[in-house]
Amino acid sequence: MGEINLWEAIKQMRQISRKKGSFSFIFMSYSRSRGKSSGIVEVSNARLRSQAPPGGKYADHLLNYVDIDTGEAFHFWQPCLMFFEGKKITLQ
């Protein structure tokens, strides 16, 4: 299983996505507008998509992705990332 630093995980997500590959990850959902979570979200086949233009209020804190299995586009808060490719996320 192992561990991986948050920033290294994001770096690897971007590299995999540039090569048109896919990866799995798990994060804790959070809706800022509703102030609540719907629980843990597991995505088994994803690729990052274009980020919001620089200057967006929360653009530096969100990652946009597409679920390759469903074709649906989503985003999640970077600090809510829990696992990447089966490795536990650390903040060190």
Domain ranges, ordered by start, for the chain: 3-53+60-90
Q: Is 50 exposed, middle or buried (0-12, 13-18, 19+ CB in 10 A)?
A: exposed
Q: What is the pLDDT of residue 54?
A: 61
Q: How far apart are CA 27 and CA 77, in angstroms?
A: 8
Q: What is the pLDDT along the chain (92 residues), one digit of tens a residue?
A: 799 999 999 999 999 999 999 999 999 999 888 889 999 999 999 999 987 666 667 778 899 999 999 999 999 999 999 999 999 999 87
Look at domain 3-53+60-90 and name its CATH class.
Answer: mainly beta
* Under 8 Å between Cβ of 57 and 81: no
pTM of structure: 0.88
